[in-house]
A and B are shown apart, each in its own frame.
Chain A
Amino acid sequence: MRERRETGVAQGPVDGEGLEVQIEQWRLYVQRSRAVTASDADEMEDHLRAQVADLGATGLDDDEAFLVAVRRMGSVDAVSREFAREHSERLWRHLVLVPDDGDSSGRTSWRELLVVLALGVGAGLAVKAGLVLLDDESLFLRNVGLLVLPFLAGYLAWKRRLTPPVLAALAAPFVVLAVVLNVYPFEPLGSTEVIAALHAPVALWCAVGLAYVGGRWRADENRMDFVRFTGELAIYFTLLAIGGGVLLGLSAGVFEVAGLDFEPLLESWVLPFCVPGAFVVAAWLVEAKQDVVENIAPVLTRVFTPLTLVMLVVMAGVLVASGDLAAADRALLILVDGVLLLVLALLLYSISARDPLARAGVFDALQLALVVAALAVDAVALTAMLTRIAEFGATPNKVVALGLNLLLLVHLVVAAWLQLRFLQGRRPFAALARWQTRYLPVYGAWAVAVVVLVPPLFGFV
């Protein structure tokens, strides 16, 4: 502050300019407390200026008058504490989705709300139409991503004001997947169909990511933003689902008391509209909150990283103790893939919220332990599965589960290595973060490859 003040005086020959700089500094300092709003700072600045003027009238120069006036205001920390005691609600951040004053930002927010609601209803109509027209259940499950995600991508495209070339690039994966999923002669509910239905949403989600980053997907920071968006979306959607579940449960209760059957209404109208609608609304909430409300996913990683480590140690114990893993079926491989995905998500979200410049700490070591434990569990399971595949031959499920396992393995091994180097102080944290975001498109490519190549390779069984 002293330096800034001296430069302020040096730049302006007029003493008053130095005073302005000083008052500005003081104001910034006061406003650092969240309990002090801009209008509180206005109020106190008015006081300060009146005091400086009065002291100036008694013969003090601006510098002296400012020092005395600031001293009389009292310790900024003590005053802020007092403000915090009076306005405790200000210490909680509040999300204002639609500002109630009639300025232009308010109108934009209202328009956005209308767009979101229209797209939510559109997604609901698409799903409802899908349910009615695609009478084959497996056909519907294959297409459900294609019915909902274009509306979400549409919202993001509207919000980001995408240019026509980006829009075309965005439409391409949707069209390609729509053709592949509906032209391939799948065996009804065969394993290749299930695999395609599971991987298509992943591929489409990458297209949503393209819309989210406004076409600039090559930037690491943008990809990390999309990762954050995905995590927050999952959490907000879950919260909406829980709230919706409460409403539905209460309604079902009343219907039952009245002797009416709630289920047909629920299945044919409420769920087809509410679930996709909630998805689009959740995306809007995440977009709106961005910097206002703390991200929750990284908070959850803090809680679940140690717990998951305990779980992995127990798992490794169980796997080793059970002995005869050659008898284990593909369910084990899928479970282990799930474990690796969970560990990856924990790693990714804690990285997404970490200050890249902070020094390595206990939590970073804990994460390394987590990744190493996950790799150990994977090694035990993988040896068992490889012998089994060698013995009984490959099936689509095994090949896909094994492929995903290898992808995750590469991801986590390199991440563990970089984490270790970071803990030793040999590599910067940025290297680890870069690796995480650079590797993500590989999963998109993998999902596309699985949907497009695996069914014909295995004869659509």
Chain B
Amino acid sequence: MRIDKDLVAASATPLVLGILVDGESYGYAILQRVNELSGGRMQWTDGMLYPLLHRLERLGHVSSSWGVSDVGRRRKHYAITPAGRAALAERQEQWAVVSGALTQVWQAVRDAEVRLPVLPEAGAGRPAEGAL
């Protein structure tokens, strides 16, 4: 399944901040964690993570420091800041509202399907697909 790129973009900030709540991390590890959390179904363009991290750093949501990897390469680590936690809490509330509204919509769609079985050629595959 391909997830719409706008949806990926909208969820990227809370995902990254949320992953950093677990502790300091670096780019590649953050992406691996995203893969784990989505069961490999959220495919990010890896390179795009870095401009995002830099933006979060500029906004003061994360701080960065250079460290060394276990094989001795230079590696940039990111940690969430108190401002970042506050931003994450705010995002969480926003997502809760969106998700609550969507849950009700999905419920309404299911109810409608039960009452009025859709004809195959009616093209109503879209909401059903979304409900998956």
Known A78-B45, A79-B45; contact A44-B74, beta-carbon cutoff 8 A: no
B95 within 8 Å of A (CB atoms): no
- How many B residues are at the interface, by size bracket? 10 to 19
Name the interface residues of A63-93: CB closer than 8 Å to any CB of B.
Answer: 72-76, 78-79, 82-83, 85-87
B28 adjacent to A82 (CB under 8 Å): no
Residues of B within 8 A of A85 (CB): 51
A46 adjacent to B54 (CB under 8 Å): no
Residues of B within 8 A of A46 (CB): 26-28, 69, 73-76
B45 adjacent to A43 (CB under 8 Å): no
B47 within 8 Å of A (CB atoms): yes
Known A83-B51, A86-B54, A87-B54; contact A43-B27, beta-carbon cutoff 8 A: yes
A51 to B28, CA, bound (A): 8
Mask of B44-67 contacts with A, CB within 8 angstroms, 1/0: 011110110011001000000010
A187 within 8 Å of B (CB atoms): no
Residues of A within 8 A of B50 (CB): 40, 43-44, 47, 79, 83
A305 to B46, CA, bound (A): 48
A6 within 8 Å of B (CB atoms): no
Residues of B within 8 A of A86 (CB): 51, 54-55, 58
Residues of B within 8 A of A83 (CB): 50-51, 54
Residues of A within 8 A of B54 (CB): 40, 83, 86-87
Name the interface residues of B1-54: CB closer than 8 Å to any CB of A.
Answer: 26-28, 31, 45-48, 50-51, 54
> Which of these, B31, B55, B58, B76, contacts A43 with CB under 8 Å?
B76
A50 to B30, CA, bound (A): 12
Which chain B residue has the least Cβ–Cβ distance from A69? B46
Known A46-B73, A47-B28, A51-B28; contact A73-B51, beta-carbon cutoff 8 A: no
Residues of B within 8 A of A44 (CB): 27, 47, 50
Residues of A within 8 A of B73 (CB): 46, 49
A271 to B76, CA, bound (A): 52
A42 within 8 Å of B (CB atoms): yes
Which chain A residue has the least Cβ–Cβ distance from B53? A43
Residues of B within 8 A of A39 (CB): 66, 76
A46 to B51, CA, bound (A): 15
> Which of these, B27, B55, B58, contacts A47 with CB under 8 Å?
B27
A28 to chain B, nearest CB (A): 16
Residues of B within 8 A of A50 (CB): 28, 69
A51 adjacent to B27 (CB under 8 Å): no
Which chain B residue has the least Cβ–Cβ distance from A35? B51
A79 adjacent to B48 (CB under 8 Å): yes
B47 adjacent to A79 (CB under 8 Å): yes
Name the interface residues of B57-111: CB closer than 8 Å to any CB of A.
Answer: 58, 66, 69, 73-76
B46 to chain A, nearest CB (A): 5
A73 adjacent to B69 (CB under 8 Å): no
A67 to chain B, nearest CB (A): 14
A42 adjacent to B47 (CB under 8 Å): no
A73 adjacent to B45 (CB under 8 Å): yes
B45 adjacent to A74 (CB under 8 Å): yes
B27 adjacent to A74 (CB under 8 Å): no
B108 to chain A, nearest CB (A): 38
A47 adjacent to B46 (CB under 8 Å): yes
Known A46-B75, A86-B55; contact A74-B47, beta-carbon cutoff 8 A: yes
A-B contact pairs, 9 of them (CB 8 A): A40-B54, A44-B47, A46-B26, A47-B27, A49-B73, A72-B46, A74-B46, A79-B45, A79-B51
Name 11 extra pairs, CB < 8 A, besides A39-B66, A74-B46: A39-B76, A43-B75, A44-B50, A47-B50, A49-B73, A50-B28, A73-B46, A78-B47, A79-B47, A79-B48, A79-B51
